[in-house]
Amino acid sequence: MSKFVLIPGAGGAAWYWHRVVPELQDRGHDAVAVDLPGADECVGLPEYADAVVASIGNDDDVVLVAQSMGGFTAPMVCARVQVDLLVLVNAMIPLPGETAGQWWDNTGSTKARVAAAEAGGYTAEFDLATYFLHDVPDEVVAAGAAHERPEADVAFSQPCDIERWPDVATRVLAAAGDRFFPLEFQRRVTRDRLGIDIDQVPGGHLVALSRPVELVDRLIEYLP
């Protein structure tokens, strides 16, 4: 049995993983989604890492899974505690010392997003429905409204406090229909920064909400 520790993206709502946790548990694994104080301007990446480390505790066979902006917290956690596998899901992959605010320009994220929109025939102007919710079931979207919260600016100005990428087996899962971080953009950033290729899963940026079974299938495949 593995322990899956799940880090949400911007806003920090553990609810994001609510369709994944029971799926992992039904397959005989422990799973905990970490709730982060994303809207609190008084805390940021160090406190996020503290919360994840506390959720891991002294457990073994830990699989750390990070969504989107959670990619900035995950390597800081791996530098502090034993993690057997790190899985980045549609995630921002930071360089040591890079801030999330710098990441957008450093990777060319916006340019890639706009180019994909023009090629795909949908609006290049960002909105939640087009870029985050386009493949999420209506009933899940409705339930999620109560869990929406902003990400405080402070977290975008704090560096990913690592000296190098942690010596942890790392896999990158990219959703084929992600409009926010398009597939080829994720492939390029992953190769440039980690020297590995992506694996694909169906779905959009919020794949844990839209395609939880397929996501968990891939996570389980990574286990020895």
pLDDT band at residue 224 using 50, 70 and 90 as cut-offs:
confident
pLDDT band at residue 154 using 50, 70 and 90 as cut-offs:
very high
> Contact at 8 Å (CB) between 151 and 157?
no
Spell out the residues 6+ positions from residue 127 whose beta carbon is closer than 8 angstroms to its own.
Answer: none
- The boundaries of the domain holding residue 39 are 3-221
Q: What percent of the chain has pLDDT over 90?
A: 100
Closest CA relative to residue 152, chosen from 17, 50, 52, 47: 47
> Contact at 8 Å (CB) between 34 and 52?
yes
If you count them, how many residues does the chain have? 224
Mean pLDDT of the region 32-57:
97
Annotate 171-201 with b (16+ C-beta within 10 A) or e (fewer). Answer: bbbbbebbbbbbbebbeebbeebeeeebebb
CATH number at residue 12: 3.40.50.1820
pLDDT for the residue 120 = 97
Query: Does pLDDT of 181 surpass 90?
Result: yes
Query: Does pLDDT of 13 surpass 90?
Result: yes
User: What is the token pair recorded at 128?
Assistant: 């939640």
Q: How far apart are CA 201 and CA 198, in angstroms?
A: 10
Query: Does pLDDT of 16 surpass 90?
Result: yes
pLDDT digit string, tens, across residues 27-41: 999 999 999 999 999
pLDDT for the residue 166 = 97
pLDDT digit string, tens, across residues 100-143: 999 999 999 999 999 999 999 999 999 999 999 999 999 999 99
Q: Is 164 helix (H, G, I), strand (E, B) or coil?
A: coil
pLDDT for the residue 185 = 98
Q: What percent of the chain has pLDDT over 70?
A: 100
Mean pLDDT of the region 183-200:
98
Mean pLDDT of the region 183-193:
98
pLDDT band at residue 26 using 50, 70 and 90 as cut-offs:
very high
pTM of the model: 0.97
Count of domains for the chain: 1
